[in-house]
């Protein structure tokens, strides 16, 4: 009885850990954006720079992509929690926005792996 109870406890613990690990990437951008709105940016250039928002429909227009590339901005995929400096997904994911790489790192986003 005690051995089966220990196995059940370990299985439940493993399940809870896997569940927490699975949902943590989805929570990280939400927590980072909540922290960013609670504490104003300390750098005046970041506060003065306009944020390029993208429509709820998803990907940016070719003009927005060109302007963001020219200004050195990265594309942040707000659903996956990663940012793209260039490449196939730059400005193309369903949910995302442009920001500087420093802003993306400060908000808790990670660079996309290739």
What is residue 49's predicted lDDT score, i.e. its pLDDT? 42
Residue 28: C-alpha distances to residues 22, 72, 95 (Å)? 12, 24, 15
pLDDT band with cut points at 50, 70 and 90 for residue 24: low
pTM for this entry: 0.51
Q: Specify the DSSP class assigned to residue 57.
A: T
* d(C-alpha 30, C-alpha 45), whole Å: 23
Domain definitions of the chain by residue range:
26-111
- Structure confidence by residue, pLDDT tens digits, 27-86: 666 566 555 555 544 444 444 444 444 444 468 899 999 999 999 999 999 999 999 999
* Cα 39 to the center of its chain, rounded Å: 18
What is residue 76's predicted lDDT score, i.e. its pLDDT? 95
């Amino acid at each position: 009885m005690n051995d089966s109870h220990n196995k059940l406890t370990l299985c439940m613990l493993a399940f809870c850990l896997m569940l927490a690990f699975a949902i943590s990437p989805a929570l990280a951008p939400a927590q980072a954006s909540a922290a960013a709105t609670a504490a104003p940016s300390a750098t005046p250039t970041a506060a003065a720079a306009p944020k390029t928002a993208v429509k709820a429909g998803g990907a940016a227009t070719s003009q927005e992509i060109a302007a963001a590339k020219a200004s050195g901005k990265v594309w942040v995929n707000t659903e996956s929690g990663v940012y793209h400096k260039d490449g196939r997904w730059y400005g193309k994911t369903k949910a995302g926005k442009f920001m500087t790489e420093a802003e993306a790192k400060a908000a808790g986003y990670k660079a996309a792996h290739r």
